[in-house]
A and B are shown apart, each in its own frame.
Chain A
């Protein structure tokens, strides 16, 4: 359940009542406060605040769109749109055996390549590791990437993928929305897809957004 009004950092949200206090909120004794500007969400088990904006903070299991930033000896550095650079070890990027003495691994991934991968490790002081060894992870060819606020991605994907499927259908584009706020797309009517996505970016906190997007996309020829 989301509240009607946004909460400011420091504003009281609710009594804890044994619930888990997770991202965007903090507690002092029995009282739970907002720890970021956002929309408080609570149910019987958990209290959190969805930030309205903010940089991407990597979390294990997140599926992200990354851009290869550097080629090292035993892996690649990956820009995942966060204050922290991620590392893709050779063993997590390529399933065949590679002789690093003889092979220039840029033949697998080179600088500026776009990949869809998963965050596999986040240490306490934010050393990040990603992996491609899971279903869905792959190199993304062609297309373009745009940057949106990471916390709005869930809205862009929609319940059970409903929103992103709608946009894909109506625009005929392939779209992958990384949880890190990078959206990759490829197709003819990218302009319409971008328009829809930027609308969600600007108005994600407004009720009635789905109808507005449907209307916008029904005009696509």
Chain B
């Protein structure tokens, strides 16, 4: 989209009052859809995502089955009312691509070999969009999978980082996303810290890229603490 000369930084702070590395207020809730095997809601400021998991379950048609491993299917979808200009329902090219990269972001975390011939279906719905929707969705999906009791190596934590008015920042909101000089979507296995999603567009030098990657990792560490807290609170033993 267009990069204008818009002022996104004033007096050393971002337009919404945040520090450069500060994340928006985050809300997390798990097990919110009782008909699903697992579910979660994650809000990053005004970006709201809900994820639900059905499975592992039998996979039909048969020819789609992998005889020695399970498969993961993922659908990212934006509700028509989630954006200012109503979005026509149904997949568009952007949703198709995001569904693909979201699936690849989560797959490495799951012990798919434990479920040959079966499928695990993950549905991500964006109910309100204000920037960084795909990473919010991935954070919700990872929690929904854990909530569903799917065998996993690790959780997956995701965040966005970017460059606005020449400054490197974390967690871009809608306006910052549109006017950024660079924006990056990043996801990693939460404790192993291996990167499973990486997309960037904009214009950065190699040095800036390395700083952004480290900023993304640090931001994910903060988000992971909140994912952990949400799960442990929900299932407190006493």
* A residues apposed to B, CB below 8 Å: 4-6, 8-12, 24, 26, 33, 35-39, 51-55, 57, 83-85, 124-126, 149, 151, 205-207
Contact = CB atoms under 8 A, between A and B. Distances in A.
B169 interface: no
Nearest to B227: A8
B58 A85 contact: yes
Contact of A37 (B57, B68, B146): B146
10 contacts: A6-B232, A8-B227, A10-B152, A26-B111, A36-B150, A37-B147, A83-B55, A83-B115, A84-B58, A84-B118
Interface string B217-232: 0000000000110011
Contacts, number: 102
A80 to B, nearest CB: 12
A55 B238 contact: no
A205 B56 contact: no
B interface residue count range (under 10 / 10 to 19 / 20 to 34 / 35 or more)? 35 or more
A206 B149 contact: no
Q: Which of A12, A35, A38, A206 has the most CB of B within 10 A?
A: A35
Contact of B237 (A6, A8, A85): A6
Contacts of B55: 55, 83
A5 B237 CA distance: 6
B151 interface: yes
B57 A55 contact: yes
Given A10-B152, A55-B37, A83 B191 contact: no
A55 B152 contact: no
A6 B228 CA distance: 10
Contacts of A149: 149
A81 to B, nearest CB: 11
Nearest to A6: B235
A124 B67 CA distance: 10
Contacts of A37: 146-147, 149, 231, 235
Contacts of B117: 83-84, 125-126
B154 interface: yes
Given A9-B153, A35-B153, A125-B68, A53 B38 contact: yes
A52 B57 contact: no
A55 B237 contact: no
B61 to A, nearest CB: 15
Contacts of B235: 6, 37, 52, 205
Interface string B142-163: 0000111111111100000000
Given A6-B231, A125-B68, A126-B116, A207 B149 contact: no
B238 A207 contact: yes
Interface string B109-133: 1010011111000000000000000
B37 A9 contact: no
A11 B146 CA distance: 12
Contacts of B115: 83, 126
B62 interface: no
Interface in B25-58: 37-38, 55-58
Given A6-B235, A126-B116, 14 more contacts: A6-B232, A8-B228, A8-B231, A26-B111, A26-B153, A53-B148, A54-B37, A54-B149, A54-B150, A57-B114, A84-B117, A124-B68, A125-B116, A206-B238
Contacts of A11: 191
Interface in B154-205: 154-155, 189-192
A8 B149 contact: no
A124 B148 CA distance: 23
